[in-house]
Amino acid sequence: MTVNRNDFIYMIMAVGFAVAGVMVISNPDALIGLYFAAAMLGIGLVMAIYIKPSLGADILIIAVFTNISRTFTDNGLPSVIKPLVAIVALAILVRYINAAQMPGGRDKTRGVEAFLFFYFMMVAFSYITADNKERAAEAIIDLGKDIVIIYCIFFTLRRPETWKQSAWIVILVTAFLSLLGVYQAFTGNYDQQFFGLARALKDVSTNSTTYRLAGPIKEPNMWGQVVVAVVPLVLFRIIYERRMRMRLLGVGILGILLIEILNTYSRGAYLGLVFVSGLVLLSQRPHPLIWFAGVATVVLVFPFLPSSYTDRFETITLLNSDGIYQEASFRGRTSKILTGLIMFSNNPILGVGAGNYPNNYQKYTIDVGLERASGEQDPHSLYVQILAETGILGGITFLGFASLLLINFSRSIQSIKNFMAYQSWLPWLYAIQISVIGYLFTSLFLHGGYIRFYWILVALALAAIQLTEESLIDPDQKHLLELPV
């Protein structure tokens, strides 16, 4: 009897299950049993992902968006995100060795991938200049892990229907997390945080008692940034979904996301929402009456919003040369950005080292003199952070990566824009493109503390470019682009 390669893989995994099971049953130590149970789960995940690779992408998306690793560590348990990444990567590698099913001919993404590699190298080189080597090493490892996640998603979303399902996973997980926040806002029960999936902070201003919704990451501004980035995916489903029940679902999800964004009290998220909504409208070129109706709705609804929202909106008008001195948070943000630029000017090549802005803040902020914040601080701008921590080399490679990604995305859209066979696929492309742009826009005034959400969007964008390119060659892929998923 001959054993083919597939059977051999399953046999090894089955043996692993059996050995782990015996050790769990026979060992009286509860902690040992827990680790072996985790090992059994890992083997099971490898088997499941080997059989259905797109499951690996969905697991990673859910793990990142729910920030489940933070929930584990907050409860004294080990982090799970790195083991999850390792398990998914292992399953993909095993499948590749066994079946050689990796994307081929990546002409449209090769340049983007090269810039991503060079950016990682610049971040790694910044270790040389870092005062806090441990923090720099952690930042380098985290970026490496995020890049592995990108490729895990890129290599597993090999068919359009699996790509669309993963995009729906992003929508539904964000909607679920936002729904928990909406429950908090309507009931006033902010102590109920649903095992860390819905956090809330009381810090709108010094004397305020208003809570800010912070999702699973305990950072209201950055959670608002994430939710705003998902809004384009929902808007395009409302506009183009063929099934009425799915359109209604989209409308309901949009309402939940908007309430969540309002209750983050993040001015950056408010500006980002206006920005991405405008991009959606511009990409569709709607009838002037739709523009008028949209503006009229905002004008009519705004006066009826609770004062806690309108007061927050109105502070945006202080964004001028004098306003930064009148509003404490603007003054603080300006100080942090200027401090970052001073770090960059003093260390222009490799910066102060990856992850080393916070521990260098007090050293450089004396030259700015705008605030007297004590301790470590964050830069409040991803681009300033990259320049301060990785210098001009890091800045050029990151901006080169982001720019080339969007350029190639636009080329992919233009290559299929006039073909009827692709009309159901185009809205997905527009949606993920605007999501990426929206995240980059809000990153003007938010640092990269939770940039892993951006890398998930990048992975979906790269996979979409690849699938579009392949569909122009493979008639079978073109047929699948029309599936109403």
Q: What is the pLDDT of residue 203?
A: 64
Report pLDDT digits (tens) over 358-391: 999 988 988 776 666 677 888 989 999 999 999 9
Is a pLDDT exceeding 70 seen at residue 99? Answer: no
Write the DSSP assignment of 356-424 as a string of letters.
Answer: -HHHHHHHHHTTT-S----S----S-HHHHHHHHHHHHHHHHHHHHHHHHHHHHHHHHHHHTT-GGGTT
| Tokens read off for 430 | 């527009």
Report pLDDT digits (tens) over 399-444: 999 999 999 999 999 988 888 778 889 999 999 999 999 999 999 9
Taking the CA atoms of residue 338, residue 340, residue 345 and residue 351 in that order, the dihedral angle to the nearest 10 degrees is: 180
Report pLDDT digits (tens) over 194-248: 988 999 988 655 456 688 999 999 899 999 999 999 999 999 999 888 888 998 9
Report pLDDT digits (tens) over 114-139: 999 999 999 999 999 999 999 999 99
Report pLDDT digits (tens) over 326-352: 566 667 788 888 999 999 999 999 999
Quote the distance between the C-alpha of residue 442 and its chain's center.
12
Q: What is the DSSP letter of 207?
A: T
Closest CA to 150 of 94, 88, 91: 88
Report pLDDT digits (tens) over 267-298: 889 999 999 998 998 887 655 655 565 565 65
Distance, in Å, from the CA atom of 294 to the CA atom of 250, rounded to the nearest integer, reads 18
Residue with tokens 């990682």: 120
Taking the CA atoms of residue 110, residue 437, residue 146 and residue 37 in that order, the dihedral angle to the nearest 10 degrees is: -120
Report pLDDT digits (tens) over 44-74: 666 677 777 788 889 899 999 999 877 767 7
Is a pLDDT exceeding 50 seen at residue 453? Answer: yes
- Give alpha helix (H) positions in 157-219: 160-187
- Average of per-residue pLDDT across 292-305: 58
pTM of the entire structure? 0.86
